[in-house]
């Protein structure tokens, strides 16, 4: 089989590469000639563990290639995946579908023979209908079906998520398209991966509902953490106690400074807007969005409180800038609220992140970027852990204490044990633990 993947961003590049690992011939397309040239040199546009090796192996095997020529890539393809960005639209929070619709127009002009057009991008309910209408208008004679096949990739573990997924969701009511999609995912059938076939609109909603539920779970435990601090309880024990209930589950019950990244912020907001448009408001989700936004902004206040009520003239060492570890993604990261607020309060901020520095420099100015953890700590009045990178979990506490001007630690990811830290002589604060 042969497929074209339109877009070499996070979803497109990972999905295209993994399909090629399944033995399928894949051509990844992007308008950015510079990005394609770097991919030809095996330089990845994103940080994802193991991706560069997998790309190199499949390029060498002749199953994976990159081009700016969409027409040539789409010609004679059995399936064409739309994997372009759908960022939040400025002003109203709706998903910006302009890239999706532009891709549909170009695909329509390039198709030859029966083609399955697959929306891999995260799109609101009804987008597949519009993609179908666009193609039909431009090519009334074309033989094609539009299918929804949402991605469920977690940054930092995306390859494993694609190769060994919890489920695959495919939205189509066409037997012909269903047969093509079953062949594409045949490898996963062999390992008995659940394949959910449903209607196109239902498939589109599954993606949003899934992400929104997880965002709600995170926000719930964050608010429980705040309550734990007030009543003298331990949020980790609360999370363990409720997570052992099979109806709840233990995942996504880790308190922190609020969710960020490329999915949860924009997807929760887009679902809220869609629900309002259909006069079926989702009050729980609206609250989740509001609580999470306020939480990220409030994290700087914890640092100020730990410093005696003011950070003016003080140096703050920040470890971790990305929204989560094992990625260079800065989108909606809590650090984008925390760091500017500290600077505005008069602090000098020094920061380090293992992979996110280059992206951070585009978004955070007026701070000092350091080369490693310990140089970041040198002479600082307080250490703030914002992202739970593994290397931050095993810091030498003796060296940390020696580097800091004052032994104050604000742990926004609960990386360390409060008792251990206090016994080591630190003034330590975390989330939901006394």
Neighbours of 110 (CB within 10 A): 20
Answer yes or no: 18 catalytic: no
| Cβ proximity of 321 and 330 under 8 Å | yes
Kindly state the DSSP code that residue 346 receives in the 8-state scheme: T
Q: Which of 207, 171, 165, 172 is nearest to 187 (CA)?
A: 165
User: Which two three-digit tokens encode residue 381?
Assistant: 């009045």
Q: In what order do the strands lie in the sheet with 427-429?
A: 368-369, 348-352, 315-319, 382-385, 408-411, 427-429
| Cβ proximity of 119 and 146 under 8 Å | yes
User: What are all long-range contacts of 411-414, with beta carbons under 8 Å and residues at least 24 apart?
Assistant: 411/385, 412/256, 412/257, 412/299, 412/302, 412/334, 412/384, 412/385, 412/386, 413/256, 413/257, 413/320, 413/385, 413/386, 413/387, 413/388, 414/235, 414/236, 414/254, 414/255, 414/256
- Catalytic-labelled residue, pool 18, 28, 228, 263: 263
Active site residues: 263
């Amino acid at each position: 089989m042969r497929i074209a993947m339109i877009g070499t961003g996070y979803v497109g590049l990972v999905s295209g590469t993994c399909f090629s690992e399944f033995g399928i011939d894949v051509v990844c397309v992007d308008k950015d000639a510079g990005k394609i040239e770097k991919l030809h040199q095996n330089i990845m546009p994103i940080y994802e563990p193991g991706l560069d090796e997998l790309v190199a192996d499949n390029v060498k095997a002749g199953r994976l290639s990159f081009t700016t020529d969409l027409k040539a890539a789409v010609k004679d393809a059995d399936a064409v995946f739309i994997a372009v960005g759908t960022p939040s639209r400025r002003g109203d929070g709706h998903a910006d579908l302009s890239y999706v619709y532009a891709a549909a127009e170009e695909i329509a002009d390039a198709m030859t023979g029966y083609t399955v057009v697959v929306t891999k991008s995260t799109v609101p309910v009804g987008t597949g209908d519009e993609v179908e209408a666009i193609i039909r208008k431009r090519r009334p004679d074309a033989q094609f079906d539009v299918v929804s096949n949402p991605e469920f990739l977690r940054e930092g573990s995306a390859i494993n998520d694609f190769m060994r997924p919890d489920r695959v969701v495919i939205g189509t009511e066409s037997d012909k398209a269903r047969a093509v999609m079953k062949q594409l995912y045949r490898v996963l059938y062999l390992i008995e991966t659940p394949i959910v076939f449903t209607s196109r609109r239902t498939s589109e909603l599954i993606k949003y509902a899934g992400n929104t539920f997880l965002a709600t779970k995170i926000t719930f435990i964050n608010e429980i953490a705040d309550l734990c601090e007030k009543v003298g309880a331990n949020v980790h024990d609360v999370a363990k106690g409720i997570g052992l209930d099979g109806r709840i589950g233990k995942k996504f019950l880790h308190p922190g400074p609020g969710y960020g990244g490329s999915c949860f912020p924009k997807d929760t907001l887009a679902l809220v807007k869609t629900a309002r448009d259909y006069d079926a408001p989702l009050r729980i989700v609206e609250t989740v969005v509001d609580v999470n936004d306020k939480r990220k902004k409030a994290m700087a206040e914890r640092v100020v409180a730990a410093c005696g009520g003011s950070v003016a003239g003080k140096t703050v060492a920040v470890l971790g800038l990305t929204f989560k570890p094992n990625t260079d993604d800065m989108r909606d990261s809590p650090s984008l609220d925390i760091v500017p607020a500290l600077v505005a309060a008069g602090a000098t901020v020094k920061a380090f992140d293992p992979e996110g520095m280059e992206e951070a420099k585009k978004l955070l100015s007026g701070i000092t970027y350091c080369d490693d953890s310990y140089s970041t700590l040198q002479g600082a009045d307080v250490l703030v852990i914002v992202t739970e990178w593994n290397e931050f979990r095993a810091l030498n506490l003796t060296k940390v204490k020696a580097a800091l001007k004052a032994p104050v630690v604000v742990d926004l990811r609960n990386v360390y044990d409060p008792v251990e830290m206090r016994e080591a002589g630190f003034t330590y604060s975390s989330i939901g633990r006394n």
